[in-house]
Chains A and B, each alone.
Chain A
Amino acid sequence: QKEVEQDPGPLSVPEGAIVSLNCTYSNSAFQYFMWYRQYSRKGPELLMYTYSSGNKEDGRFTAQVDKSSKYISLFIRDSQPSDSATYLCAMSVSGGADGLTFGKGTHLIIQP
Protein backbone atom coordinates (compact mmCIF):
# COMPACT_ATOMS: atom_id res chain seq x y z
CA GLN A 1 0.00 0.00 0.00
CA LYS A 2 1.41 3.35 -1.02
CA GLU A 3 1.93 5.85 1.76
CA VAL A 4 0.07 8.68 0.03
CA GLU A 5 -2.62 8.20 -2.59
CA GLN A 6 -3.81 10.96 -4.89
CA ASP A 7 -5.99 10.68 -7.98
CA PRO A 8 -3.89 11.87 -10.95
CA GLY A 9 -6.88 13.20 -12.90
CA PRO A 10 -7.18 15.13 -15.07
CA LEU A 11 -10.02 16.85 -13.26
CA SER A 12 -11.81 19.29 -15.57
CA VAL A 13 -14.35 21.78 -14.19
CA PRO A 14 -15.98 24.98 -15.50
CA GLU A 15 -14.79 28.38 -14.35
CA GLY A 16 -16.45 29.47 -11.12
CA ALA A 17 -17.00 25.94 -9.81
CA ILE A 18 -15.89 24.73 -6.39
CA VAL A 19 -13.01 22.27 -6.73
CA SER A 20 -12.27 19.50 -4.26
CA LEU A 21 -8.86 17.82 -4.31
CA ASN A 22 -8.07 14.96 -1.97
CA CYS A 23 -5.36 12.68 -0.63
CA THR A 24 -5.47 9.63 1.59
CA TYR A 25 -2.56 8.31 3.56
CA SER A 26 -1.65 5.25 5.58
CA ASN A 27 0.92 6.48 8.09
CA SER A 28 -0.94 7.68 11.19
CA ALA A 29 2.26 9.39 12.42
CA PHE A 30 1.99 12.18 9.83
CA GLN A 31 1.41 15.50 11.58
CA TYR A 32 2.32 18.18 9.04
CA PHE A 33 0.28 18.54 5.86
CA MET A 34 0.90 20.73 2.86
CA TRP A 35 -0.51 21.49 -0.56
CA TYR A 36 1.70 22.59 -3.42
CA ARG A 37 0.69 23.99 -6.79
CA GLN A 38 2.87 23.27 -9.79
CA TYR A 39 2.51 24.96 -13.16
CA SER A 40 3.86 23.23 -16.25
CA ARG A 41 7.68 23.16 -16.35
CA LYS A 42 7.96 25.05 -13.06
CA GLY A 43 8.88 24.04 -9.53
CA PRO A 44 6.11 23.39 -6.97
CA GLU A 45 5.08 26.39 -4.88
CA LEU A 46 3.74 26.09 -1.35
CA LEU A 47 0.04 26.89 -1.21
CA MET A 48 -1.24 25.77 2.19
CA TYR A 49 0.28 24.39 5.38
CA THR A 50 -1.60 22.72 8.23
CA TYR A 51 -0.43 21.15 11.44
CA SER A 52 -2.47 18.24 12.80
CA SER A 53 -6.25 18.18 12.27
CA GLY A 54 -8.61 20.98 11.40
CA ASN A 55 -9.30 23.58 8.73
CA LYS A 56 -7.28 26.46 7.39
CA GLU A 57 -8.53 29.12 5.03
CA ASP A 58 -6.56 31.50 2.81
CA GLY A 59 -8.58 33.53 0.34
CA ARG A 60 -10.29 31.16 -2.09
CA PHE A 61 -8.41 28.14 -0.71
CA THR A 62 -9.39 25.94 2.25
CA ALA A 63 -7.35 23.02 3.52
CA GLN A 64 -8.92 20.33 5.69
CA VAL A 65 -7.23 17.54 7.61
CA ASP A 66 -9.11 14.60 9.10
CA LYS A 67 -6.52 12.50 10.91
CA SER A 68 -9.10 9.97 12.13
CA SER A 69 -9.89 9.10 8.51
CA LYS A 70 -6.35 9.75 7.24
CA TYR A 71 -7.78 12.09 4.63
CA ILE A 72 -6.86 15.60 3.58
CA SER A 73 -8.63 17.95 1.19
CA LEU A 74 -8.04 21.21 -0.63
CA PHE A 75 -11.07 23.24 -1.71
CA ILE A 76 -10.85 26.01 -4.28
CA ARG A 77 -13.82 28.40 -4.45
CA ASP A 78 -14.69 30.49 -7.49
CA SER A 79 -12.14 28.62 -9.58
CA GLN A 80 -10.27 30.57 -12.26
CA PRO A 81 -8.46 29.42 -15.42
CA SER A 82 -5.23 30.52 -13.70
CA ASP A 83 -5.85 27.76 -11.12
CA SER A 84 -5.17 25.18 -13.84
CA ALA A 85 -2.11 23.33 -12.61
CA THR A 86 -1.02 20.13 -10.90
CA TYR A 87 -1.75 20.05 -7.17
CA LEU A 88 0.49 17.94 -4.94
CA CYS A 89 -0.28 16.98 -1.38
CA ALA A 90 2.64 16.42 0.96
CA MET A 91 3.06 15.37 4.56
CA SER A 92 5.71 14.65 7.16
CA VAL A 93 6.02 13.03 10.56
CA SER A 94 8.29 15.55 12.21
CA GLY A 95 9.84 18.93 11.72
CA GLY A 96 13.14 17.29 10.96
CA ALA A 97 15.21 17.19 7.80
CA ASP A 98 13.93 13.92 6.46
CA GLY A 99 11.88 15.53 3.72
CA LEU A 100 8.26 15.17 2.78
CA THR A 101 6.20 12.30 1.44
CA PHE A 102 4.39 13.50 -1.65
CA GLY A 103 1.32 12.38 -3.50
CA LYS A 104 1.82 12.10 -7.26
CA GLY A 105 -0.37 15.10 -7.96
CA THR A 106 -3.79 15.82 -9.48
CA HIS A 107 -3.87 17.65 -12.80
CA LEU A 108 -6.62 20.29 -12.63
CA ILE A 109 -8.11 22.04 -15.66
CA ILE A 110 -10.45 25.03 -15.25
CA GLN A 111 -12.41 25.58 -18.43
CA PRO A 112 -13.14 29.26 -19.27
Chain B
Amino acid sequence: DVKVTQSSRYLVKRTGEKVFLECVQDMDHENMFWYRQDPGLGLRLIYFSYDVKMKEKGDIPEGYSVSREKKERFSLILESASTNQTSMYLCASSLAGSGNTIYFGEGSWLTVV
Protein backbone atom coordinates (compact mmCIF):
# COMPACT_ATOMS: atom_id res chain seq x y z
CA ASP B 1 0.00 0.00 0.00
CA VAL B 2 1.04 3.55 -0.71
CA LYS B 3 1.94 5.45 2.39
CA VAL B 4 2.09 9.23 2.59
CA THR B 5 3.14 10.37 6.03
CA GLN B 6 2.64 13.85 7.40
CA SER B 7 4.76 14.18 10.49
CA SER B 8 2.59 16.70 12.36
CA ARG B 9 -1.13 16.06 12.73
CA TYR B 10 -2.06 19.02 14.92
CA LEU B 11 -0.13 22.26 15.30
CA VAL B 12 -0.81 25.58 16.97
CA LYS B 13 1.43 28.45 15.91
CA ARG B 14 1.55 32.18 16.56
CA THR B 15 1.06 34.86 13.93
CA GLY B 16 4.36 35.68 12.26
CA GLU B 17 6.04 32.35 13.06
CA LYS B 18 7.75 30.34 10.35
CA VAL B 19 6.02 26.97 9.99
CA PHE B 20 7.32 23.79 8.38
CA LEU B 21 4.99 20.97 7.35
CA GLU B 22 6.82 17.79 6.39
CA CYS B 23 5.64 15.01 4.12
CA VAL B 24 7.27 11.71 3.17
CA GLN B 25 6.05 9.07 0.70
CA ASP B 26 7.42 5.55 0.44
CA MET B 27 6.36 4.53 -3.08
CA ASP B 28 9.01 6.26 -5.20
CA HIS B 29 6.39 8.57 -6.72
CA GLU B 30 7.62 11.34 -8.97
CA ASN B 31 4.82 13.80 -8.27
CA MET B 32 4.05 15.37 -4.91
CA PHE B 33 1.42 17.93 -3.98
CA TRP B 34 0.32 20.22 -1.18
CA TYR B 35 -3.37 21.09 -0.85
CA ARG B 36 -5.33 22.97 1.74
CA GLN B 37 -8.93 22.07 2.55
CA ASP B 38 -11.44 24.53 3.97
CA PRO B 39 -15.18 24.20 4.60
CA GLY B 40 -17.16 25.44 1.62
CA LEU B 41 -14.03 25.91 -0.49
CA GLY B 42 -12.99 22.31 -0.97
CA LEU B 43 -9.47 21.24 -1.86
CA ARG B 44 -7.18 23.87 -3.34
CA LEU B 45 -3.75 23.17 -4.77
CA ILE B 46 -0.94 25.23 -3.24
CA TYR B 47 2.18 23.81 -4.92
CA PHE B 48 3.23 20.66 -6.69
CA SER B 49 6.50 19.08 -7.74
CA TYR B 50 7.18 16.61 -10.53
CA ASP B 51 10.83 15.99 -9.71
CA VAL B 52 13.51 16.66 -7.15
CA LYS B 53 14.27 20.37 -6.83
CA MET B 54 11.38 21.20 -9.19
CA LYS B 55 8.31 23.07 -8.06
CA GLU B 56 5.26 24.58 -9.71
CA LYS B 57 2.70 27.00 -8.32
CA GLY B 58 -0.81 25.78 -7.89
CA ASP B 59 -3.94 27.84 -7.50
CA ILE B 60 -3.11 29.56 -4.18
CA PRO B 61 0.68 29.80 -3.71
CA GLU B 62 0.74 33.20 -2.02
CA GLY B 63 2.21 33.08 1.47
CA TYR B 64 3.69 29.61 0.95
CA SER B 65 6.89 28.09 -0.36
CA VAL B 66 8.02 24.50 -0.81
CA SER B 67 11.17 22.45 -0.82
CA ARG B 68 11.92 19.11 -2.45
CA GLU B 69 15.53 18.11 -1.83
CA LYS B 70 14.87 14.37 -1.97
CA LYS B 71 12.39 12.42 -4.08
CA GLU B 72 10.47 11.06 -1.11
CA ARG B 73 10.17 14.31 0.85
CA PHE B 74 8.16 17.45 0.11
CA SER B 75 8.00 20.27 2.63
CA LEU B 76 5.53 23.15 2.83
CA ILE B 77 6.78 26.35 4.42
CA LEU B 78 4.72 29.22 5.74
CA GLU B 79 7.24 32.06 5.87
CA SER B 80 5.18 34.20 8.26
CA ALA B 81 2.04 32.47 9.45
CA SER B 82 -1.21 34.42 9.46
CA THR B 83 -4.61 33.60 10.90
CA ASN B 84 -6.11 33.12 7.42
CA GLN B 85 -3.73 30.19 6.98
CA THR B 86 -5.55 28.24 9.68
CA SER B 87 -6.63 25.16 7.76
CA MET B 88 -6.19 21.46 7.12
CA TYR B 89 -3.15 20.82 4.92
CA LEU B 90 -2.97 17.67 2.84
CA CYS B 91 0.11 16.24 1.21
CA ALA B 92 -0.29 13.82 -1.69
CA SER B 93 1.78 11.90 -4.19
CA SER B 94 1.28 10.15 -7.53
CA LEU B 95 3.21 8.14 -10.09
CA ALA B 96 4.12 10.00 -13.29
CA GLY B 97 1.66 9.31 -16.08
CA SER B 98 -0.85 7.67 -13.74
CA GLY B 99 -3.68 9.98 -14.68
CA ASN B 100 -3.10 11.65 -11.38
CA THR B 101 -4.42 8.91 -9.14
CA ILE B 102 -3.28 10.83 -6.13
CA TYR B 103 -2.71 9.29 -2.72
CA PHE B 104 -3.18 11.53 0.29
CA GLY B 105 -1.68 11.68 3.73
CA GLU B 106 -3.78 11.95 6.88
CA GLY B 107 -3.62 15.75 6.96
CA SER B 108 -2.09 18.37 9.22
CA TRP B 109 -4.44 20.60 11.16
CA LEU B 110 -2.81 24.00 11.59
CA THR B 111 -4.23 26.68 13.84
CA VAL B 112 -2.60 30.13 13.74
CA VAL B 113 -3.40 32.32 16.73
Contacts and interface: CB of A to CB of B under 8 A. Distances in A.
Contacts of A90: 100, 102
Contact of A105 (B33, B42, B90, B106): B42
A62 interface: no
A24 interface: no
Interface in A15-44: 31-32, 34, 36, 41-44
B101 A97 contact: no
Interface residues of A, number: 26
Interface residues of B, number: 29
Given A41-B107, A97-B50, A46 B102 contact: yes
B99 A104 contact: no
B32 to A, nearest CB: 9
A97 B33 CA distance: 9
A96 B49 CA distance: 11
A43 B105 CA distance: 6
The majority secondary structure among interface residues of chain A is: loop
Given A97-B96, A99-B58, A45 B42 contact: no
A43 B102 CA distance: 11
Contact of B106 (A31, A32, A42, A46): A42
Interface of A: 31-32, 34, 36, 41-46, 49, 51, 88, 90, 92, 94-100, 102-105
